[in-house]
Each structure stands twice: as structure tokens, then as C-alpha cells.
Chain A
Amino acid sequence: SQELEQSPQSLIVQEGKNLTINCTSSKTLYGLYWYKQKYGEGLIFLMMLQKGGEEKSHEKITAKLDEKKQQSSLHITASQPSHAGIYLCGPSPSGSARQLTFGSGTQLTVLP
């Protein structure tokens, strides 16, 4: 299965600040999903990136996939307490490959 490394492991920011979370793959990605998890709850799908150089935005969250499709970043602009949680990146399945290994996650705390 594919190895995905996330950084940082944890992040504490003041409300209103911008932040970036990175996800790096050991192999070329077929595609990448970003998920968010609130403490003790299931993961919620945020965005899917499939093409090299692709960038998607939803509200104040922007995700990008680099041209080589080995690195993705998630950027939050003007963070709010509602952005707090664990962010995880996960690979998109490639063809019949469905053994999916997620990144270890980034714990985000936003201080009011």
C-alpha cells in the first residue's frame, strides 16, 4: 500500500491566522482525498484531487495537488474554532487497488 506522511502532526493557531497542512506520498498518487474528523467522530470528506496541479476550494479551505502528484497541501485562510479537528489525507484508489493507507493525521487547535 502507499505510504502517506503528514506534517505537522499537530498545530495550534490563533483564530484568524492562516495555516497549511502537508501530505507527501512515497509514490505517484492516482488521486488524493482530504478528510476532517471531529474528536471521537467519523471522518467527513472534504475534497478530492485527481489531476496534477489541481486546486480546489471550499469556503476557506483550499487543497492543491502538485504537478508530480506526490504532494498535496491543505490551506486554511482566517482560521476559526469550527476548523478545529483532525485532518487526514488518503489515497484515491487506483483501478482495482483498494488497500488504502491514510496519513497519520494533523490535529488542529484554533484558539479563540
Chain B
Amino acid sequence: EAQVTQNPRYLITVTGKKLTVTCSQNMNHEYMSWYRQDPGLGLRQIYYSMNVEVTDKGDVPEGYKVSRKEKRNFPLILESPSPNQTSLYFCASSLNNSPLHFGNGTRLTVT
């Protein structure tokens, strides 16, 4: 089944403790991206990647890192999480000029 898989679905952590949210797609898509969704602010893009080893900042990249060493994986790294990064995170992928396929989301709480 074609899908975008994010893990974990839920994560509670403390300020400053490094964490990684994984994202994997099995559709051979070149494009992958990360979003955060907050009430009243909608869906905001954090980082995106056009292909392996190519990543660019989105609208809200501060406090996040990404890597794209393989085509299928695009992990989101929070080196030192803070409470303002508490949010619902989505990974998405697509072929060029095609609709995005979204993962089911990761709900992160930073205390």
C-alpha cells in the first residue's frame, strides 16, 4: 500500500531533550516536506526537500533540522525542543506537480 509513515504518533518529552520524528514513504517520491499545525495558524511548512541531499527552509525552520540521505526517508530533528514546539506535525511527499500525500501526524508535547 502506498503510504507515508510517521513515527511516533504521540510523543511527550521535556525541554532540551533531543528527539527525532521519522518519516518514510514507499512511493519513490522526489519531494518531501514537514509541516506543523497549530490552532488558528493552519499548516505551516518547516522544511522541504526536492531530492536526496537537497533540503530547503520553509516558513518556520527555526529550532528544526532535517536530513535527506535516502530518497524514502526524511527525518525531522529537534536538537533542543522547547514548549513552543508543542504541535501536531505532518510529513508529506509527492511527485513533481502532483498532490501531496500526508502521513497521519505526530502529536508532540514538550514540557
Contact = CB atoms under 8 A, between A and B. Distances in A.
Interface residues of B, number: 28
Contacts of B31: 93, 98
A99 interface: yes
B85 interface: no
Interface string A25-43: 0000000010100001111
Interface string B54-97: 00101100000000000000000000000000001010100011
Main DSSP-derived SS at the B contact region: strand
Given A99-B58, A100-B33, A105-B43, A92 B105 contact: no
Contact of B45 (A40, A42, A96, A101): A101
A102 B43 contact: yes
Contact of B42 (A48, A99, A104): A104
Contacts of A44: 102
Contact of B100 (A43, A99, A101, A103): A43
A88 interface: yes
B41 interface: yes
Interface residues of A, number: 25
Interface of B: 4, 31, 33, 35, 40-45, 48, 50, 56, 58-59, 88, 90, 92, 96-97, 99-105, 107
9 contacts: A1-B59, A35-B100, A40-B107, A98-B31, A99-B48, A100-B33, A101-B45, A103-B42, A104-B41
